[in-house]
Amino acid sequence: MTRARSFFLLSGMWILLLTAGCGGETDRPDLGDWTLTADPLTLTETLRVSETEDFYFGSVSDLDITSEEHIVVADREANNLKVLRPDGSLLDTLGGPGEGPGEFEQLAGIQVARGDSVFAYDVRRSRLTVWPPLPSSEVARTVTFPRADGFAVQAWTLDKGFIVEFAQPASAPEEGVSRRSPRMWRRVSDAGTPRDTLLQRPGLKTAVTAQNGGFRLRTVPFARRTLTALGSGDVLYHGWTDSLTVRARSSDEPSTTAASIPTDPVPLIEAARDSALRDVGDEMRSVVASGLPDTKPAFSDLVVADGGRLWVKRPTKSPDAEMAPWWILNLEEQTIRETQLPREVDLEVVQDGQAYGTTTTDVGAPAVVRYRVRTDKEA
């Protein structure tokens, strides 16, 4: 994203009170064994930070939170980590561009784990860099994942070892719409040795056109995919977004159904199709349009809160909707609470009664946002 010319901190703690239900729905669908509660969840925005005199975000790809509520932000464009205090001011910067220890070529994601150690993943080098708990800025070690099982796309840190998502190298593409090679999630040792396979699912639906002697690829909007999130106890939650079904896979047990909720499909109306194709070039528009589904995915984001509840982002019915509905699933009680967030917010962490996400400002600069979650009932 383009960096704004002036540096600024969107301070003043903009307060946004979100109390409405799910996208203005008045009817209540049949949810099977699940109950939709009449008490919506309330979120209050307490922080929105973008650029200051001390730093700016080039392109935020991920964030996580320490036990001291410091916000560790992965800046993909700058290839470094920015550590923010709870008030949004800069505490430290870790890493930078390059090939050496603590340096990145393509910073993809970060995770705070194992007693506040910071794990940062370089997808181009298939390398995980580990920093000890703050305030240390010295690299503790690195772990490189082998490419025998394909390209390591993402890594989650377990109490012991890792879960790594591998994508197989793409074969020579053909024009049209097809699914990429299957993705594989495998357990990997602390030394980087692959072990058992936990999950294997289809890749994303992709449109391909020939251009200038090569090929151009674009993921088809609203295509079904596998969403994954790591919960406490090293449980991997995963769901194919064609239906609102989320399964759980622990380290030693097969996958079990954590939540399966009947939902009415949301049609992909003409206005939504036009909106999805708005930024697609003329040379690809017809191919991408041919792959668009008739309905939206049942959910498009999955976050596991520290209390074990699942936050799932539901589809909007209007392509111009400013707010997106979220359902919070209590797996033990089989109840659903509703809330809304601005549609452009990507929720990353729900922890200690606060929800953290990424978004953009009115001028397109990346920003980090934080919301206070109402505490009269656990979220």
Which tens digits make up the pLDDT trace of 121-138?
999 999 999 999 988 889
List, in order, residues 6 or more apart from 328 with CB less than 8 Å away: 41, 305, 309, 310, 311, 336, 337, 338, 339, 379
Give the distance, in angstroms, between the CA of residue 239 and the centroid of all CA atoms in the same chain: 13
CA distance 63 to 83: 10
Give me the pLDDT at residue 23, please.
43
Give me the pLDDT at residue 171, please.
67
Q: What is the mean pLDDT of residues 329-357?
A: 96
Which of 351, 310, 354 has its CA nearest to residue 331? Answer: 310
Q: Is the pLDDT of residue 337 over 70?
A: yes
H or E element, residue 74: strand 71-75
How far is CA 218 from each of CA 182, 241, 279, rounded to the nearest angstrom?
Answer: 17, 19, 11
CA distance 204 to 191: 30
List, in order, residues 6 or more apart from 163 with CB less than 8 Å away: 155, 156, 185, 186, 187, 188, 198, 230, 236
Q: Is the pLDDT of residue 75 over 80?
A: yes
More confident call, 92 vs 2? 92
pLDDT in tens, 253-303: 888 999 999 999 999 999 999 999 999 988 899 999 999 999 999 999 999
Q: Going edge to edge, which strands form the sheet with 107-113? A: 107-113, 117-122, 127-131, 141-144
CA distance 4 to 371: 24
Q: Report yes or no: 231 and 237 within 8 Å, Cβ to Cβ.
A: yes
CA distance 145 to 149: 10
CA distance 288 to 205: 10
